[in-house]
């Protein structure tokens, strides 16, 4: 999405719990220092991103390391940070950044996040409860209903008048 990011907020959540509640995050290749991202959009079309900035070994910024530990040379060294897979399996709380658009109601979004994560309801179970079980049309021998009338004949100008 090409919406401008206007502000950031930091929050603490367990990475494993975020995946359980919201499902797997999207792979991120555009924001430096971030492995994956959760994307949200509210009814006002405000955009929110939950990012894991500099939380994993693969994306640590050496300049940030020098700021944290100025007297030490960190050439070839890194903090004891987890790998990407280890990070997303962690049950301990980690720091996440929330980026949002200009007029987004960040307080309401953080409240929504806290309430949803506290419920600890599995994303897959929530979707099945709302929409029902998924029925795949690849079971051999099962007779499926086939629609043979074309959309051209079902919809005409009368539907839009």
Sorted by where each begins, the domain ranges of the chain are 7-131
Q: Compute the distance between CA of residue 144 and CA of residue 136 in angstroms, rounded to an integer.
A: 10
Strands 94-100 and 47-53: antiparallel
Residue reference for tokens 């990475």: 15
Specify the pLDDT at position 154: 65
Per-residue pLDDT of the chain (161 residues; tens, 9 = 90+): 445 667 888 999 999 999 999 888 888 767 777 788 899 998 888 999 998 887 777 766 566 656 665 555 545 555 577 888 888 899 999 999 999 988 889 999 999 999 999 888 888 888 888 888 776 667 778 787 777 777 666 666 665 65
Specify the pLDDT at position 73: 52
Strands 26-27 and 34-41: antiparallel
Specify the pLDDT at position 4: 63
Specify the pLDDT at position 133: 79
Specify the pLDDT at position 12: 92
Provide the strand spans (E) within 34-84.
34-41, 47-53
Specify the pLDDT at position 161: 54
Residue reference for tokens 């399996």: 89
Q: Compute the distance between CA of residue 21 and CA of residue 38 in angstroms, rounded to an integer.
A: 12
Q: Is the CB of residue 108 less than 8 Å from the CB of residue 116?
A: no
Phi, psi of 106 (to 5 degrees): -70, -35
């Amino acid at each position: 999405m090409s919406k401008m990011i206007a502000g950031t907020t930091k929050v603490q959540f367990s990475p494993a719990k975020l995946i359980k509640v919201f499902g797997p995050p999207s792979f991120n290749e555009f924001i430096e220092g971030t492995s994956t991202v959760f994307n949200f959009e509210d009814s006002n079309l405000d955009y929110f991103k939950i990012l894991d900035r500099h939380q994993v070994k693969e994306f640590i910024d050496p300049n940030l390391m020098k700021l944290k530990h100025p007297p030490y040379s960190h050439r070839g060294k890194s903090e004891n940070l987890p790998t990407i897979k280890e990070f997303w399996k962690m049950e301990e709380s980690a720091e996440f950044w929330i980026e949002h658009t200009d007029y987004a109601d960040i307080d309401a979004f953080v409240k929504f996040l806290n309430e949803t994560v506290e419920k600890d309801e599995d994303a897959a179970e929530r979707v099945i409860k709302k929409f029902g079980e998924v029925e795949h049309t690849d079971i051999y021998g099962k007779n499926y209903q086939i629609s043979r009338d074309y959309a051209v004949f079902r919809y005409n100008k009368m539907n839009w008048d």
